[in-house]
Structure 1
Amino acid sequence: MRFFQGVSGLVHYRVWPVDSPRAVAVLLHGLGQCSADYHRFARALNRCGVAVFGIDQIGHGLSEGQWHEMAPIEDLAANASALTALAAAAHPRLPLVLIGHSLGAGTAVVAMATDIGAATRTARVALLGTPEQLPVQGYSPPAVPTLVLHGADDRRAPIAPIRAWADTAPNCRLIEIADAGHDLLHEPVHRHVTHEIVEFLDPEGDPVSGPPASRPGRGRIAVR
């Protein structure tokens, strides 16, 4: 088992490795979940040549902390930054994507809005919804290529404020997925969502230059 010293205790994380990876992904789970909930998604990324690091946030999974209390998002972001740095150090020459779902999406925004080291400043960010715990107007999208995938029928985090939030950054691309709710990686659309993330990462492209020309960074796309 893998642990590192986090803000308030030991933090457990998983690694789904691949031989000769072309890219690396860091996965931040949602509230009440843990890295073990994402084996299928991680293995799907593995089949595309992407090594995956997944965190158990404070009080979740095998990490220390109070399971019934949500830790401050700044602490979650600090732990996410630490894992991102570990992943970047393990694969210093590879494109990197930070993937957050629900609470993990908000955590990714806060983590990328702070200085988490030169090795991770070029990371791309894929956000699967944004949690109701994070006031959308209070944060700006990270200053890196950002993909937001959001279920059009999400009742936990309604899509309207997400549309306004995504429109504030020229490097942010929103994909609205019809007939999908909050937990996109565990709904029938999970294969399509995985495909969009892999295409966004573009393992054979240049993560510093921004989204490929054929997939503009700004604007919304509705998927049915």
Structure 2
Amino acid sequence: MPHVREHILDGIVVREWPHPEPRYLALVVHGYGEHAGRYDELAGVLTGHGAAVYGPDHVGHGKSAGERVVIEDFEDVVTDVHAVADLARAAHPGLPLVMVGHSMGGLIAARYAQRHGGELSALILSGPVIGAWELPGRLLALAEIPDTPISPAALSRDPAVGAAYAADPLVWHGPMKRPTLQAFVRTLAAVAEGGDVGPLPLLWLHGDDDRLVPLPGSRIGVERLSGGRQAERIFAGARHEVFHETNKADVFAEVIHFLDTALPERS
């Protein structure tokens, strides 16, 4: 796999998985508490398919600046991701742009598509926080947010995934923070009210044993965002991180098949 490069944009650290002659650009938008470095394997699949891949660590996440896991406003994160898209396009003008958003990154990617959908050629949402997600409201109703980190076992049936997550110093292992929970509530509402993304090809991936972002709540949001035109693949028995699941080869094959359909023909 090519050497990963790093760029810094106003305190946001961006990983680039380069390709010598890409035919499209892929932007990977990571989830809550984690970082873009956890997407090495997905990036390898995409570079192998002809993409130059970019992935920012969001503010307060991974190697980027900011108080840990504090996101005051997801609109600012969308703006950060747009700056990364500009960086990628400046390096490789004129190429189609694909966005892959996981979990919280699915919320960010959905909002990005509402704000800048004309710039995208395809959108992939994995276990997206979109639609009806009850956790923020439940936690905000408490006087004190409990210090219960995400259970590594909820991520994948592969115990090695949970072990690596638990040992990763760039992953946040503490409680959720009130400003971020409040921002989730606002942005879930903004996406719900923000309209659909028209003819933009959209693929929704979800595990049917996802206990962090339950499938039925996401379906409401995905169907509203896509106008009911989404392609979808629900993986039986899979947990929250389908890209790290025991059947990840099937997940990657689904991504490649979708992109072959969605992207313009190779010239």
Structure 1 residue corresponding to 2:216, chosen from 142, 160, 164: 160
SS at match of 1:53: strand
Asked whether the equivalents of residues 152 and 180 of structure 1 are also in contact (C-alpha less than 8 Å), the reply is: yes
Amino acid at match of 2:254: E
**In the TM superposition, what are the counterparts of 1:181-196 in structure 2 within 5 Å?**
181-196=239-254
Structure 2: gaps of 5 or more residues: 1-5, 134-183
How far off is 1:203 after superposition? 8.1
1:141-180 Cα offsets, whole Å, 9 max, x none, are 4332111111111111111122233333143222211111
**In the TM superposition, what are the counterparts of 1:142-153 in structure 2 within 5 Å?**
142-143=197-198, 144-153=200-209
2:261, 2:96 → 1: CA distance?
6
Tell me the number of residue pairs that the alignment of Structure 1 and Structure 2 aligns: 200
Q: Which residue of 1 aligns with 2:169?
A: none
Q: Which structure ranks higher in relative contact order (CA pairs < 8 Å, sequence separation ≥ 6)? A: 2
2:64, 2:25 → 1: CA distance?
22
Percent identical pairs in the alignment equals 32
Asked whether the equivalents of residues 122 and 263 of structure 2 are also in contact (C-alpha less than 8 Å), the reply is: no
Amino acid at match of 1:150: H
Q: Which residue of 1 aligns with 2:140?
A: none
Asked whether the equivalents of residues 25 and 97 of structure 2 are also in contact (C-alpha less than 8 Å), the reply is: yes
How far off is 1:126 after superposition? 0.4
Amino acid at match of 2:70: E
**In the TM superposition, what are the counterparts of 1:1-224 in structure 2 within 5 Å?**
1-5=6-10, 10-115=11-116, 121-131=119-129, 132=133, 133=184, 134=188, 137-143=192-198, 144-168=200-224, 169-202=227-260, 205-206=263-264
Asked whether the equivalents of residues 122 and 262 of structure 2 are also in contact (C-alpha less than 8 Å), the reply is: no
How far off is 1:139 after superposition? 4.7
Structure 1: gaps of 5 or more residues: 208-224
Root-mean-square deviation (CA), in Å? 2.2
Larger-gyration structure (1/2): 2
How far off is 1:70 after superposition? 3.1
1:205, 1:79 → 2: CA distance?
25
Amino acid at match of 1:193: V
User: Higher helix proportion, which one?
Assistant: 2
1:104, 1:141 → 2: CA distance?
18
Change (3 A) 1:145 1:75: same
Change (3 A) 1:90 1:204: farther
How far off is 1:109 after superposition? 0.8
Segment drifting more, 192-201 vs 131-140: 131-140
User: Higher strand proportion, which one?
Assistant: 1
1:79, 1:205 → 2: CA distance?
25
Asked whether the equivalents of residues 166 and 173 of structure 1 are also in contact (C-alpha less than 8 Å), the reply is: no
SS at match of 2:209: coil
SS at match of 1:167: helix
2:40, 2:216 → 1: CA distance?
31
Amino acid at match of 2:197: P
Change (3 A) 1:203 1:2: farther
SS at match of 2:54: strand
Asked whether the equivalents of residues 17 and 52 of structure 1 are also in contact (C-alpha less than 8 Å), the reply is: yes
TM-score normalised by structure 1 residue count: 0.80
Change (3 A) 1:141 1:84: farther
